[in-house]
Structure 1
Amino acid sequence: MNLSFPRFVARFLALSGFLLVVGMTLFAQSNLSALDGVWLGTLFAGPQTLRLQVHLQAGVAGSQNCALDSIDQRAFGIVCTQVTMNGDTVSFDVPAVGGGWSGKISKDGKTLTGTWKQGGNALPLAMQRQEIAIEPPKAPAAVFDAAIPAAGVADLKTVLDADLASALKVGALAPETHGGITIGVVQHGVRRIFSYGTAAPDSVFEIGSISKTFTGLILAQMVEQGTVRLDEPVRELLPRGTVAKPASGGEITLLDLSDQHSGLPRLPGNMHPADPRDPYADYNETLLYTFIGQHGVGLAPDAPFGYSNLGVGLLGQALADRAGKPYADLLHQQITGPLKMADTGVALSAGMRAHFIEGHTGDGRPAAAWDLNALAGAGGIRSTAADMLTYLEAQLHSDQLPPGALTGAGKTLPAAIAASHVVHAEAMPGTHIALNWFHNDATGSYWHNGATGGYSSYAVFNPGKDFAVIVLSNTAAGQESFADRLGEHIVHRLEGTPAISLAMEPRP
């Protein structure tokens, strides 16, 4: 078997990092309780090995919660779906990496013996039931650089030139990484854009899950325009007959999808990418409607926060269905057209394509662009730092939009932007969520990040302190996101507080 093991295993991180929050999903057949537990095995390819750990737990209505850990790559909680058990035959899929496992469970219920398949390759993989799971390593304590006097926008590049010196030599932006970063900052109406590494000020990047905030604003726009309601069941926006009304109890609303309390899995269980390098491209409306029809739209009482690409992707498609136009056209009508964001969209225009920077995996290899289909509302937008600053300035001062933005659908933008900032639920301790914007309760900042197979991003704005920052990177997030770290660092420099350090360990 001709198998390049480093390329093979790197796909776990490259394709599992679409959003930095991971979780478990469900879909199942038959009686699966015999699989409950933690299973550990090792893939062998020549002299190299990779430990995989699978968590299985029976859920409600015959479902099965399933997550896979790639321990040696420190990738934990990768969603696995389509868990089946017929007799002693067992199988499950891992859509995010385009892989899956199938085999048999031993008579004593202690061993799973079978084959891992991924990208046309197959390797034997036996897994043993474990008493205790291997836990994710604890993140090292953050290191902070000493505070300096608060930097104004005009002086920020000089500060960052010094702060990024190490990363440009041996870290995330070292020459061998092909990494590039474009940064946009606006403070009190003064904006600056600058770039490092292989990026240019006008480079076009995939923004990943920052796209979710656009979907949240489209929702707010359509509420202001009277075409949808926040408490409207998503079922009512989908094509007639897509999914049945729950026999009893609550059902998922548009707000539940936007504030990530829908109870939907992170990814749909019927996602089987033909090309693992571009895993969302062939997931179309038909597949989405089929999954929702089978899964249902019942809402558990007091459903907790659960980050779901599926949920926000469904929201984007549902809004497009109600508007009677594709999501990309709806995005232009409601946001990018009024704000004159000519270099922002789902598809690349000729002008955008000329400046589209090549993406890279966390280990510096070229990565394919991701083309999101039915789930575009969850992460399918591309943009530039200049356009993203326009978007963030609108968040800061929705009452000061230029007159040209206040025509057509843009008439409702000021009210819709304000409505999109209203927090609706808790996301995690110290953080609430508005219409897809996370709100830091301590600082008053709103933020979101994003990651695809070859790009990562971070956006933050603070209305009280009147600043916003966008960081766009052509490198996927690995064990952590350098774009996140850099964005937080810039905020600290603007505020004159100790700044999370950008010094990185030398790349292997």
Structure 2
Amino acid sequence: MRNRFLNWIVLMALGTNAHASPLPAPTDAEIQEILADRIDKQQQSIGIVVGIIDANGRRIIAHGHPAKGDPRPVDGQTVFEIGSVTKVFTALLLADAMEKGTLSLSTPVATLLPESVIMPENKQTPITLGDLATHMSGLPRLPSNLVPADMSNPYAGYDAAKLYAFLSSHKPQRRPGVEHEYSNLGAGLLGHAIALKAGVSYEDLVISRIAVPLGMKDTAITQQPDWAERRATGHDAAMEPVSDWDLDALQGAGALRSTVDDLLLFLEAAMGKTASPLAPAFSALLSTRQPLGNGDRDQQALGWVVSGKGDEQFIWHNGGTGGYRSFVGYRPSTGVGVVALSNASTEVGVDDIGRHLLNRNAPLAPPIVERTAIVIDPARYDVYVGTYRLAPDFELTIFQDGDSLFAQATGQDRLEILPEAEHRFFTKLIDAQISFTLKGDRAESLTLHQGGQSSPAPRVSK
């Protein structure tokens, strides 16, 4: 789950040079320097904790603080929101149920929901649990009836009744199993359905089936008694404190909170470095794969994303909420695993750090370029005002409020955009720009420039 512009483009794995000679892994001192640069110089986080598993065991490198103005250091026991890394736990619950013989990849989702719910499917191609786990369900990224009362906590209050109402009224754009489309809705529905089958809450299922067997004492959704002094505070891209996120019916998409210490236990079990009753389920996660639609560079396994080939291949997932970013991944050829957690929701995040520690040939993200706004007459903003479609279920609304122009993506907070050239705007909070193409005296389309990609979006309404 990602906030602000981070949802507009799905940033895939940073490219690596497959022909470059392997470089030695960064030392602890080098990692500490990376974290200090990211926090102290680039001001892209308040606190970052990195955990590494390699041939020498496990170690923790951390820099920064649990909250702005808090002098205490972060460490392996600091509790963060982990966002979409939760999806790997949800997929593992499915794999565990498959090993127990209670569910299968071919189980139709409809058979696990109340009879009153009408799934958006036909009898010939029902949406299955496998479709949900691999983002092949044909369901949109978010349900159209997710209308947050509080944009700082967008999933709060989206309960089972609203989920069922959406499913019963949604008209699918494609059949399941045809095309990959990352869906928080689908992952949340998967967790909800598995919990219904088990007869317990999603959180209780994660704790009993995963956390307890692996010795993970700090992985949960609700506040634990001993978290009070160890909880990190989330921050937005401007390094201001923000609210934590509370998920209801869609908990399986991104509701978990955890620590680097706990996630290293999870990663050790996933990599087969420690004996675990979940070993068969972990293996099952990688036995099913679907193409991501970007050639053969990446594949979607159950929960995990698999990137690269041969010795370069690594298995990973990332996450982001309103105030946090996370990365968990490992490289089978080297036996190295990495966890990185940050208490700020910035575009740079910690993905590049995680990948760099798995493969030093993978570059760190460059610093965000400082941009300067020019002065134009606010009366000229009217030519840009309108709604632009980036994807079938994802739109960008440009609107004016007073003398300022704003952009607001579906289900996200608004961001002020500032002019830097004729028909080109930027936002101060992240490295993203918008350029408009005019036809006569009205913009007919815009292009979002972010992460080295340019995504056109036609105007669909004023």
> Cα RMSD (Å) of the superposition?
2.9
1:455 to 306, 313, 324: 324
State the secondary structure of the residue aligned to 1:345. Answer: coil
Q: Any gaps of 5 or more consecutive residues in structure 1?
A: 1-12, 23-75, 78-135, 407-412
Moved over 6 A (4+): 140-143, 296-299
Mapped contact 1:431–1:438 kept (Cα < 8 A): yes
User: In the aligned structure 2, how far is the partner of 1:213 from the partner of 1:342?
Assistant: 18
Q: In the alignment, which of 216, 230, 235 is matched to residue 341 of structure 1?
A: 216
Q: For 1:306, which of 175, 181, 191 is the aligned residue? A: 181
Letter of the 2:4 counterpart? S
The equivalent position to 1:437 in structure 2, one of 304, 307, 323, is 304
CA distance in 1, matches of 2:87, 2:370: 34
Which of 310, 333, 339 is the aligned partner of 1:464?
333
1:194 Cα deviation after fit: 1.7
Contact 1:170 1:505 survives alignment (8 Å)? no
* 1:151 paired to 2:25: yes
> 1:464-483 counterparts in 2 under 5 A?
464-477=333-346, 480-483=347-350
1:279-302 CA-partner distances (Å, limit 9, x unpaired): 111001111111112226896165
Superposed displacement of residue 499, structure 1: 3.6
Pick aligned residue for 2:364 from 465, 483, 500: 500
Please give the per-residue CA displacement for 1:252-298, whole angstroms capped at 9, x wherever unaligned: 10000000011101111111222211111100111111111222689
Which amino acid is 1:167 matched to? R
| TM-score for the superposition, normalised by structure 1 | 0.65
**Cα displacement (A) at 1:203:** 1.1
Percent sequence identity over aligned pairs: 35
- Is 2:289 aligned against 1:415? no
Aligned to 2:38: 167
**What is the one-letter code of the residue matched to 1:262?**
S
Whole-angstrom distance in 2 between the partners of 1:339 and 1:492: 27
Q: Could you say which residue in structure 2 is the equivalent of 1:193?
A: 60
Distance in 2 (CA, whole Å) between partners of 1:211 and 1:462 is 20
Residues 1:219 and 2:86 aligned together:
no
Q: Say which of 132, 141, 147 aligns to 1:266.
A: 141
CA distance in structure 2 between the partners assigned to 1:309 and 1:162 by the alignment: 35
Task: Tell me if structure 2 keeps the 8 A contact 1:456–1:483.
Answer: yes
- Over residues 7-62 of structure 1, what are the superposed CA-to-partner deviations in whole Å (9 max), with x where a residue is unaligned? xxxxxx98436xx554xxxxxxxxxxxxxxxxxxxxxxxxxxxxxxxxxxxxxxxx
Aligned pair partner of 1:324 in 163, 186, 199: 199
Contact 1:320/1:330 (CA < 8 Å) preserved in 2? yes
- What is the count of residue pairs matched by the alignment? 356
Q: 1:498 to 1:327 in 2, by over 3 A?
A: closer
1:254–1:296: structure 2 CA closer, same or farther, 3 Å change rule?
farther
Counterpart residue type for residue 460 of structure 1: G
* Residue identity in the other structure for 2:279: P
Q: Does 1:289 align with 2:289?
A: no
Helix, strand or coil: the match of 1:277? coil
Say whether residues 1:428 and 2:268 are aligned partners: no
Q: Distance in 1 between matches of 2:253 and 2:179?
A: 19
Answer yes or no: is the 8 Å Cα contact 2:286–2:301 preserved in 1: yes
Aligned to 1:183: 50
- Residue in 1 aligned with 2:272? 397
Q: Which residues in structure 2 correspond to 1:74-113 (within 5 Å)?
A: none
2:128 to 253, 259, 270: 253
Q: Which moved more, 1:381-390 or 1:498-507?
A: 498-507
In 2, Cα distance between the equivalents of 1:189 and 1:286? 50
* Higher percent of residues as helix: 1
Name the TM-score, length of structure 2 as normaliser.
0.71
Q: Is structure 2 residue 27 aligned with structure 1 residue 16?
A: no
Separation in 1, partners of 2:92, 2:172: 23
The alpha-carbon deviation at position 247 of structure 1 amounts to 4.6
Q: Distance in 2 between matches of 1:325 and 1:298?
A: 33
